[in-house]
Amino acid sequence: MITDQGLVLACSAIGAGIAMIAGIGPGIGQGIAAGYGASAVGRNPGARGSIMSTMLLGQAVAETTGLYGFAVAIILLFANPLLGRL
């Protein structure tokens, strides 16, 4: 017999797994940005500073999506805000 608490815990674990899928996009995007940044520095080594700072700023902004997904997963696994509603 499935209890209400067991169902909430199972759904929280599934939701945490789905939330971690959010880490795939930033990983791919940051890899592409780093590749294009290295290519741009290879073509114009004099602009290395501005290229690197722009690339790193873009990667930091892209990383927030993955961090938000990670935060949601941690909340679902350990804080279980839905258990208080039973």
**Residue 11 domain-assigned (yes or no):** no
**Residue 5 domain-assigned (yes or no):** no
CATH number of the domain to which 48 belongs: 1.20.20.10
Global pTM value: 0.74
CA dist 59 → 38, 44, 45, 72 (Å): 14, 21, 20, 20
Query: pLDDT tens digits for 13-27?
Result: 999 999 999 888 888
Question: Any alpha helices (H) in 1-86, and if so which ranges?
Answer: 4-20, 24-43, 48-74
What is the torsional sign of CA 23, 27, 58, 52? positive
Q: Which domain holds residue 48?
A: 26-80
Number of folded domains in the chain? 1
Query: pLDDT tens digits for 54-82?
Result: 988 988 888 888 899 999 999 988 988 77
